[in-house]
Structure 1
Amino acid sequence: MLNVAIASHREFLPADAPEQKLFLMLKLRPTKEVSTTRPSTAFTFVIDTSGSMYEIVTGVPQPTGRTYQVDGNYYHEVTGGESKIDIVIESLRQLIHSGKLDRSDRISIVQFDDRASTIIGLTPATEVSKLENAIAKLRNFSGGTRMGLGMHHALNAIADRDMTCRRTLLFTDGQTFDEEQCRDLAKQFATNNIPITALGVGEYNEELLISLSDTTGGRLLHIVPENATGTQVSIADLPKAIAEEFTQAQQEVITNLAMTVKTVKGVKLSRIVRAYPSQAEFPLIQEPYPIGNAAANDETVFILEFAVESRAASRVRIAQLGLTYDVPGQNRRGELPPQNLVLQFVAGSDFAAQVDREVMDYVQQCNIAQLVSEATKVAEQNPLRAEELLETARRMTQRIGNQAMTESLTEAQNELRKTRRISSGTSKTIKMGSKGKTVRIGGDINDVILEDQIRQLSGT
C-alpha cells in the first residue's frame, strides 16, 4: 500500500569522534493501486470576521459620503471596491460551484472575531443551497480577534471523522488575543491528524501561523492585496488557492501517518521535518509522532536528524523506525514494520567523507527556513550578517531550482541594501515562503554549498 525508501546522508561515520549529526531521509509513495482510490474529505473553513476584514483591498472604491460605526471605529462607506470578507465569500462560492466536489466531500464553516460560532456543520458539498446560505452569513459578524475560539469550534466539527482526509483552512488578517490557546489547540489538531493550512493577509503574526502549520503538518500562504511576486499569493487569486488546497486534500490517499522511533543509548532523535512537497517541522512531544498525509502519484519526503555520541569502530544498530497509517479509500489501516537503522563507524576519514547527495540536498532545503528566520531576527542590529544569511539561502534555492523563493529572497536582499532593514511585509513573505511549497530533488546538484558552511550558518 505504501512504498518506502530509507537512506542516510552517510553510510559510514568516523569512529571515536565527538557528537555527530546523522540525517536520515524517509521517502514515501503510495502504490499504484492505492493511488487510484479517492478519499472522502472533511474540510472546515475557519474565517476571521473581525472588523478589519471589511477593509477594501481591490477595485477602485468611490466614497458615498456616508459613515458607519463598527467596533467603536468610524468608517467611510464606499462602493466599487471589494473587501477581504467579500473576496473570501466569493472564493467559497466558487469552490462549491467548481464541479470538483461530490457527496463524499463535506464542508463546515466556522467564524471568529471576539466570539465564534459554527455557521454550518459538516455538510455534503452537493447541498449547495445550504452552503450558500451559510457563506452569506459571514457578513453578519464583526468584532475583535480571538482565533482560538474558532479553532475550538473547528476541532469539534471534524475530530471524530475517521477514515477521511480532514483539514482546516484558517484565514486571518490580524493579531489574536489568545496565542497560547491557539498553540495548545494545535497539539490537539496534530493528535487527531488535522493539518491546518494557514492563510494570512495584513498584520497577522506569522510566527504563530508558522507554529500552527508546523505542529499539525499543514501549509502556509502569505496573501497580499496587490500583485503577487515570488512566493506571495494575490488576494485576487484566493479562489484558485482555496480550490487547489481542496484538490490536494482529495489526492491524499494515505492519511494519519504516525511514526515511532526507538534509539539506543548515546543516540537521540532531535528533529523530524517534512522536506517535500511542503515543509513542516513536527514537534517531538509524544510517540508515535503524527506526520500528516501522503498524496497519490508523488513522493512525500521527511528528514530525521539524530545526534550520535562517540563510538569505537564497529557496525551497530542505532535506531528502529516504524510507521502506521490509514488508507481511507479502502477503509484499511497499514503499517511499516520496525526497520533497523544500522551504521558503520570506521577509523580514519576516507570512508566517512562519502555523502549521499540527494539526502543532503533535502537537508539544505530544510535549512533555508532557519537561515531566513535568523536573518529577519538580526537585520536591524546587524544588516551585514542578515545579508550574508539571505545570500546563502538565495544560493541554495537557486541551485535547488525553487525559482519563486529565489525571487522573494532577491527582493528581500535589495530592500535590505536600500533601507538597512527588512520590513514586516517582506519578513512575512520570505518566512512563510520558505515553509511553503518546496522542490522535489532529482539527481545531483552542481556546486552545492559545503556541509561545514551549512552547519556554521544554520547551527545544524
Structure 2
Amino acid sequence: MLDTIGEMSGGMPAEFIRNPSDAMTVFEQQFQSAVAVAVRNATLTLRLPAGVTPKKAVKVLPIISDFGPSVLSDRQVILQLGDLEKENAQSVLVELMIDPRPAGLFRIAQTELTYDVPIANLIGERVRDDIKVTFTTDPNEAAQVNPLVMNFAEKANAHRLVTRVLDEYKRTGKATTRLAPNVTRVLDQETQAALEQINQGQQISQDQVKSIGNKTRKLTQRLDDLV
C-alpha cells in the first residue's frame, strides 16, 4: 500500500528498513530528495508513426518500475514521471516493435516532455524532440549495440523475473519460475541464496522477501553516473 501511495503522489515507493537504526539515514535521504526537486508534474509523451507499435515501458532510473499496459496505446505512450530532482537522472526504457524499413534514417517517435517549475512560476512548459534510428543492411553495423541501454534492459528483465518469483511465492509459498544464469548473475549473493532456497521448496522470511524486492528495483542505480 505504501508503494502505491508513493507512486500515485509522484514520489518514490516505500523504503524497506531492516534495522530501526537505519531509519534516520533513510529519512535524511528522503528529505534531501524532496529538497532537490526542481521540476514537478513531468510527463513524457511518445507519439508514434505508422509501423511502430509500443510493447512495454519501464522506468529504469532512479529505480526500476514497470509502468504497466495502461500507458500504451496504438500511436502513443504517456509516462507520468512526477517530480524530477536536480543532478538525479530519470531514465525510461520503451520497447517498440518496428516494421521493416529500407536502409536509411527514419523517425520512430516524436517525444514531448511537459513540466512545471514552481520556483520560476512556469506551468505547462514543453520540450519536443525526435527519436531517429538508422536502418542498415550491413550485418556488422546491425550487430552494434548501446551498452548502457543493454545494461538497463538486462537489469529491468531481472527485476521483472524476480518480481514474478516473489509474487508466486507470496501467493502459494513456493515458486515454479527458474531464473537463468544470465539473470541471477546481476543479483547479489544474499538475493541469489534466498531465491535458491525458494526454488528448493524452503521458506524465507517476510523481511527477506521485502529486502529482495527493495534491492532488485535498485539494480540500475550503479549505472546512474553513466547517464
TM-score normalised to structure 1 length: 0.41
Which is richer in strand? 1
Cα gap change, 1:413 to 1:279, in 2 (>3 Å): closer
Question: Which of 16, 19, 36 is equivalent to 1:222?
Answer: 16
Cα gap change, 1:392 to 1:413, in 2 (>3 Å): farther
Q: Paired residue for 1:270? A: 55
Letter in 2 for 1:247: Q
Q: Paired residue for 1:412? A: 194
Letter in 1 for 2:85: A
Bigger Cα Rg: 1
Query: Any conservation in 2 of the 1:318–1:341 contact (CA below 8 Å)?
Result: yes
Letter in 1 for 2:174: E
Letter in 2 for 1:237: D
Q: Superposition pairs for residues 105-144 of structure 1, below 5 Å? A: none
Q: What do the CA deviations read for 1:153-198 (whole angstroms, capped 9, x no partner)?
A: xxxxxxxxxxxxxxxxx49xxxxxxxxxxxxxx6xxxxxxxxx43x
Query: Any conservation in 1 of the 2:114–2:124 contact (CA below 8 Å)?
Result: yes
Q: Superposition pairs for residues 141-290 of structure 1, below 5 Å? A: 170=2, 196-197=5-6, 213=7, 216=10, 218-223=12-17, 233-283=18-68, 284=71, 288-290=78-80
Query: Any conservation in 2 of the 1:253–1:295 contact (CA below 8 Å)?
Result: yes
Task: Name stretches of at least 5 consecutive residues in structure 2 with no aligned partner.
Answer: none
Query: Any conservation in 1 of the 2:52–2:99 contact (CA below 8 Å)?
Result: yes
Question: Which of 354, 367, 372 is equivalent to 2:144?
Answer: 354
Which is richer in helix? 2
Q: Percent identity?
A: 23
Query: Any conservation in 2 of the 1:258–1:324 contact (CA below 8 Å)?
Result: yes
Q: Paired residue for 1:423? A: 204
Query: Any conservation in 2 of the 1:268–1:308 contact (CA below 8 Å)?
Result: yes
Cα gap change, 1:414 to 1:271, in 2 (>3 Å): closer
Cα gap change, 1:437 to 1:236, in 2 (>3 Å): farther
RMSD: 3.1
Q: Paired residue for 2:96? A: 306
Task: Name stretches of at least 5 consecutive residues in structure 1 with no aligned partner.
Answer: 1-146, 148-169, 172-185, 187-195, 198-212, 224-232, 398-405, 444-460
Query: Any conservation in 2 of the 1:220–1:435 contact (CA below 8 Å)?
Result: no
Query: Any conservation in 1 of the 2:175–2:198 contact (CA below 8 Å)?
Result: no
Deviation at 1:248, TM superposition (A): 1.0
Q: What do the CA deviations read for 1:47-89 (whole angstroms, capped 9, x no partner)?
A: xxxxxxxxxxxxxxxxxxxxxxxxxxxxxxxxxxxxxxxxxxx
Cα gap change, 1:427 to 1:302, in 2 (>3 Å): same
Query: Any conservation in 2 of the 1:219–1:279 contact (CA below 8 Å)?
Result: no
Cα gap change, 1:440 to 1:276, in 2 (>3 Å): farther
Cα gap change, 1:248 to 1:363, in 2 (>3 Å): same
Query: Any conservation in 1 of the 2:55–2:72 contact (CA below 8 Å)?
Result: no
Between the aligned partners of 1:243 and 1:347, the Cα distance in structure 2 is: 53
Deviation at 1:372, TM superposition (A): 0.6
Deviation at 1:218, TM superposition (A): 2.4
Cα gap change, 1:365 to 1:214, in 2 (>3 Å): farther
* 1:295 partnered with 2:85: yes
Secondary structure of the 1:293 match is strand
